[in-house]
């Protein structure tokens, strides 16, 4: 960075504290789990639980304890392990999602991440069968996504499918499954809606990394589509997602509240429409900011869905 004329970034107070608490490169293991993502991941994962039991019934201990256990397994072990194993094979030098200036890869990160993933699968057997199955599916997709010779994250289209299902629909379904409740048509449509919603978000997470992905030889979806078409696909997918949400509202008898979904849709379009119009002049930093604004729109969507469907 100094050779390129960019001053090196000093470690934050959070990192200095972490490396004092966990000396050597131990704290680097934690950073590669990307704990900055955990609150967002936990919120989206918990959505399924709240839809299954309702907001009022969510605090009952016999329901809450298994849900919290499922949340730890899914967010820390599965998601954290997935991101760490991704770091092992990506060897990123620039900023990555939820990790600014990533530290060098620790020596045993592959073993550490594999232990988390396998441990999560074993612990999944303490929860209902549907949770074990969806964990196993996402575990397999994590390996196929990051690990050579498969490394489907470098295969445009396949990376998209893995993420839209894994994060979009399977993640909230995980805590629904932890309750043991069967999935009805209306809620199936609702959870399915998050699949195209993440299909819209996913290429947005790649736009600021196009140069690094190109240098590494990864043919990501955003590289294949280009910026303009990536943003066009994002807008189309968001519209499909909200159509499914409205369909779910009709099936579940929440049609009178469906207009509330328009608030979240307006937030999405408020992010995507200006981005689409002005993308040609954006720097990688501006594309990265756009990604985080889209993640905010995702959070607004989760809250709006709860307001409409979790009674």
Residue 10: pLDDT above 60? no
> What band does 6 get if pLDDT is binned at 50, 70 and 90?
very low
Chain centroid to Cα 81, Å, comes to 13
Closest residue by Cα to residue 264 from 291, 310, 298: 298
Q: In the predicted model, what is the mean pLDDT of the chain?
A: 89
**Could you tell me the CA-to-CA distances from 288 to 44, 94, 207 in Å, in that order?**
21, 12, 7
> What band does 94 get if pLDDT is binned at 50, 70 and 90?
low
Q: Identify the pLDDT of residue 306.
A: 93
Q: Give 181: exposed, middle or buried? Use CB within 10 Å, 0-12, 13-18, 19+.
A: middle
Residue 99 has phi, psi (to 5 degrees) of -150, 100
Q: Identify the pLDDT of residue 33.
A: 95
Q: Identify the pLDDT of residue 3.
A: 33
> 184-311: which CATH architecture?
Up-down Bundle (1.20)
**Could you tell me the CA-to-CA distances from 146 to 58, 96, 135, 158 in Å, in that order?**
35, 15, 17, 12
Residue range 18-43, pLDDT digits in tens: 888 988 889 999 999 999 999 989 99
Residue 96 has phi, psi (to 5 degrees) of -130, 170
Residue range 189-246, pLDDT digits in tens: 999 999 999 999 999 988 887 877 777 676 778 888 888 999 999 999 999 999 999 9
β-partners of residue 96 are 99
What are the domain boundaries of the chain?
25-183, 184-311
């Amino acid at each position: 960075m100094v050779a390129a004329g960019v001053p090196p970034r000093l470690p934050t107070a959070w990192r200095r504290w972490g490396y004092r608490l966990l000396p050597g490169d131990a704290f680097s293991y934690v950073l590669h789990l990307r704990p900055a993502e955990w609150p967002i991941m936990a919120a989206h994962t918990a959505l399924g639980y709240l839809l299954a039991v309702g907001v009022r019934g969510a605090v009952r201990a016999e329901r809450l304890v298994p849900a919290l256990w499922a949340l730890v397994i899914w967010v820390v072990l599965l998601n954290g392990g997935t991101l760490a194993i991704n770091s092992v094979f990506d060897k990123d030098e620039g900023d990555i999602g939820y990790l600014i200036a990533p530290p060098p890869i620790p020596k045993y990160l592959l073993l550490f991440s594999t232990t988390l993933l396998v441990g999560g699968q074993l612990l999944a057997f303490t929860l209902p069968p549907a949770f074990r199955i969806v964990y196993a599916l996402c575990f397999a997709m994590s390996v196929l996504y990051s690990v050579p010779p498969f490394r489907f994250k470098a295969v445009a289209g396949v990376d998209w499918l893995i993420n839209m299902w894994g994060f979009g629909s399977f993640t909230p379904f995980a805590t629904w499954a932890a309750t043991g409740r069967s999935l009805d048509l209306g809620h199936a449509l609702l959870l399915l809606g998050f699949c195209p919603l993440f299909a819209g978000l996913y290429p947005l997470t790649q736009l600021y990394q196009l140069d690094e992905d190109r240098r590494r030889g990864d043919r990501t979806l955003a590289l294949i589509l280009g910026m303009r078409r990536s943003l066009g696909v994002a807008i189309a997918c968001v519209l499909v997602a909200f159509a499914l949400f409205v369909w779910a509202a009709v099936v579940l008898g929440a049609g009178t509240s469906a207009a509330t979904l328009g608030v979240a849709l307006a937030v999405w379009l408020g992010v995507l429409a200006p981005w689409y119009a002005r993308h040609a002049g954006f720097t990688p930093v501006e594309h990265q900011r756009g990604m985080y604004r889209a993640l905010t729109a995702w959070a607004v969507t989760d809250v709006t869905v709860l307001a409409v469907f979790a009674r």
